[in-house]
Amino acid sequence: MTSLTSPVIGERSSFLTNDANQSRSLVLHKHMSEFWSGDLGLTLITMSLGILIFVITPLREAALPGRFLFHIIVIALMVFGASAVNQSRITRDFVIAVVFASATASIAARLHPTPFLHRADSFLSTVTLLLYIRIVLLVMFRKGPVTWSRIQGGICAYLLVGMAWASAFQFVEQLIPGSFRFVSAPADMDQLASKLTYFSFATLTTVGSDIAPLLPFARSLTMAEAVVGQLFPATLIGALVAMAMQSRAKQSCSACSR
């Protein structure tokens, strides 16, 4: 009798354990979805990006401490966002793997600065920032009314576009030195990142700068960013207006049906 009941008890205990693990996973996913569905998630990521771009990055030439803290905050928020948005498990795991690979390459390039690690860091940073844009847009265009959170998502995505192009410019300059002409040549990678971030946002907003692309691929990349800088806000605003009109039409229809 004991030999027959012990396997049954073992199966029940394993079933209860699996059920408890699934419940914890569902609760965690629910909390992360609520975090990103409100204004807090996009507010934190937008504030972190604003400080990183407009305060930390211009002062990187002076080796300002603290930039890694904001990188960690952005990475953590984006990992939570990748886990919260509706996508397949393979896609989610791929995004998280790329994010951690980029962070590892950045740390390795900082501790052991070699040309290969610097190029790997710039390339993976570009890919990661493009994935960040995808995450923010998925959160931004989820179902529901148009709120301040969606507007913050548009600002966040626009800032990420500028950062992605800055990393791409850095990769091109590291791969083919002399792709860009600088008034004063950067002395190290921090100065190169700072100067090309400035050039990227000056190109994205079509302000212009004292840095000029020299090689054909660098020029093509610059023209592409200038075009995206004009089309992205217009397309984003149009999509938000369409979503607002659809939401208002649904509300009016539901009111008429009552």
pLDDT of residue 156: 87
At position 17, the amino acid (one-letter code) is T
Whether residue 192 lies inside any domain: the answer is yes
* pLDDT higher than 70, residue 96: yes
Identify whether the C-beta of residue 161 lies closer than 8 Å to the C-beta of residue 209. no
Band (239; pLDDT cuts 50, 70, 90)? confident
Packing angle of the helix pair 67-84, 2-37 (nearest 10 deg): 120
pLDDT at 85: 66
Residue 36 lies in a domain: yes
217 neighbors 172 (Cβ within 8 angstroms):
yes
pTM of the model: 0.79
Question: Given a cut of 60, is residue 6 above it in pLDDT?
Answer: no
Residue type, 51: I
Amino acid symbol at 38? G
Q: How far apart are CA 53 and CA 167, in angstroms?
A: 13
**Domain range for 237:** 32-257
DSSP string computed for 16-43:
HHHHHHHHHHHHHHHHHHHHHHSHHHHH
For position 169, which CATH number holds? 1.10.287.70
Distance (Å, rounded) from C-alpha 138 to C-alpha 164? Answer: 18
The verdict on residue 76 lying in a domain is yes
Residues sharing a CB contact under 8 Å with residue 113, sequence separation 6 or more, in sequence order: 189
- Give me the pLDDT at residue 132, please: 87
- Tally the domains of the chain: 1
- Residue-level pLDDT at 249: 65
Query: For residues 70 and 45, what is the distance between their CA atoms, to the nearest angstrom?
Result: 10
Confidence of residue 253 (pLDDT cuts 50, 70, 90): low
Q: What is the pLDDT of residue 202?
A: 94
CA distance 125 to 197: 13
**pLDDT (tens digit per residue) in 166-180:** 999 999 999 999 999
Is residue 101 assigned to a domain?
A: yes
What share of the chain in percent tops pLDDT 90?
Answer: 28
Q: Mean per-residue pLDDT for 109-135?
A: 90
Residue 161 included in any domain: yes
Reported as a single tens digit per residue, the pLDDT across 8-62 is 455 444 444 444 445 554 444 444 555 455 567 777 778 878 888 888 777 766 6
Looking at per-residue pLDDT, the higher value among 71 and 8 belongs to 71
User: Mean pLDDT across the chain, nearest whole number?
Assistant: 78
Question: What single DSSP character describes residue 258?
Answer: -
pLDDT above 90: residue 242: no
Please report whether residue 230 resides in a domain.
Answer: yes
Could you identify the residue written with the tokens 């993976």? Answer: 124
* Rounded Cα–Cα distance for residues 100 and 113 (Å): 19
Q: In which band, very low, low, confident or very high, does the pLDDT at 95 lie, cut at 50, 70 and 90?
A: confident
- pLDDT recorded at residue 55: 80
CA distance 55 to 67: 10
pLDDT at 257: 62
Integer CA distances (angstroms), 113 to 70, 118, 219, 242, in order: 21, 7, 28, 48
Give yes or no for residue 226 having a pLDDT over 90.
Answer: yes
Angstrom distance (rounded) from CA 112 to CA 110: 6
Q: What CA–CA distance (Å, rounded) separates 9 from 12?
A: 5
The answer, yes or no, to whether residue 219 has pLDDT greater than 90, is yes
Residue 233 inside a domain? The answer is yes
Backbone angles phi, psi at 213, to 5 degrees: -75, 140
**Does residue 16 lie within any of the structural domains?**
no
To the nearest whole percent, how much of the chain has pLDDT over 70? 73
